[in-house]
Amino acid sequence: MYYLGRQHTVWPIILLNYNLSPEIRFKQENIITFGIVPDPKKPSNFNSFLYPLVQQFKILHKGVEAQDGSQLNTLFTLRAHIVVIGTDMPARDMVMGLSGHSARHYCNYCSARGIYSHQFRHMYTPLTAPTNTPVDPDWRTYNPNALPIRDHDRSKLYAHHVEETGDTEVIQRTGVKGYIPFWDLPSIIFPWSYGIDSMHLFYLNIAHYMRDHWAGLTVPSITANGT
């Protein structure tokens, strides 16, 4: 399943059948358009667009009676499950029910905590703290081989808790912003069912930002020569 957001305009909700081979699964005739989130702004209640989708898949999870076109007299139980959810980067925070890119816990996959630059109003999650500014004493160094991956069950508890109480302390401490309909589907594993959009990450972000670093276009400007 895919959300394709372009500059917060129209977001199609489409279903891809991964039982089909890669050669044909992305062809237009094999893509099911479930719905379209309309213009002009990003939706204020995105969950309301996901709700009917999840209701349908709850039924398909149990199975429905269906007929095989080649065997007209026999019925079989048809099941379908959402296992992978693909979105581009701006949509992913919303689809996962997370606070997003400017939050202290902006990472969608782990609970590593960011450090905030007040001067430039910018959040970033380094592995080690800056040496030239005081940081919270409970901020700890991260091992890139063992990052604190978000736990499925605990994240679901946070989501329930935040939805019921609006507890801003938990929102800030975890980055979990609210309950999403996808929590009701047992086929979805948080956070790994929500795949990385490698096109945006590698090409539109990493390549672009490295160009900016080398050309001194970042704010503040830091170049490869260390000025």
The radius of gyration of the chain's CA atoms, rounded to the nearest angstrom, is 21
24, 36, 64, 215: which one binds other proteins (CB under 8 A): 215
Output the smallest distance, CB 27 to other proteins, in A. 9
Peptide bond into 220 cis (omega under 30): yes
Four-residue CA torsion sign, 176, 180, 182, 186: positive
User: Could you tell me how many residues of this chain bind other proteins (CB under 8 A)?
Assistant: 73
Choose which of 37, 96, 112, 185 interacts with other proteins (CB under 8 A): 112
Which residues inside 59-88 make contact with other proteins, applying CB under 8 A? 84-88
Stretch near other proteins under the rule CB under 8 A, chosen from 68-76, 102-110, 152-160, 178-186: 102-110
Inter-residue contact 12 to 3 (CB < 8 Å): yes
The residue (of 2 and 46) whose beta carbon lies closer to other proteins is: 2
Q: Is 10 in the site for other proteins (CB under 8 A)?
A: no
Residue 36 touching other proteins (CB under 8 A): no
The residue from 10, 17, 20, 26 that contacts other proteins (CB under 8 A) is 26
Q: Which of the 8 DSSP states describes residue 162?
A: H
Q: Which of 49, 57, 106, 190 is close enough to bind other proteins by CB under 8 A? A: 106
Outline where DSSP puts E strands in the chain.
2-3, 11-15, 32-37, 64-67, 75-78, 85-87, 115-117, 122-124, 194-195
Residue that is written with structure tokens 């672009």 in the block: 208
Give least dist CB 170 to other proteins, A. 22
Q: Compute the least distance from the CB of residue 218 to other proteins, in Å.
A: 4
Identity at 178, one-letter amino acid code? G
Question: And the tokens for 140?
Answer: 């700890």
**Would you give the DSSP letter of residue 202?**
I
Which 144-163 residues touch other proteins, going by CB under 8 A? 144-145, 147, 149
Q: Which stretch binds other proteins (CB under 8 A): 46-54, 55-63, 107-115, 178-186?
A: 107-115
Quote the CA–CA distance of 86 and 155 in Å, as a whole number: 19
Burial of 194 by CB count in 10 Å (0-12 exposed, 13-18 middle, 19+ buried)?
Answer: buried
Contact with other proteins (CB under 8 A): which of 73, 77, 168, 198?
198
Distance CA 48, CA 44 (A): 9
Q: Between residues 75 and 201, which has the closer beta carbon with respect to other proteins?
A: 201
186 binds other proteins (CB under 8 A): no
Q: Residues 114 to 133: which contact other proteins by CB under 8 A?
A: 114-115, 117, 119-120, 122-133
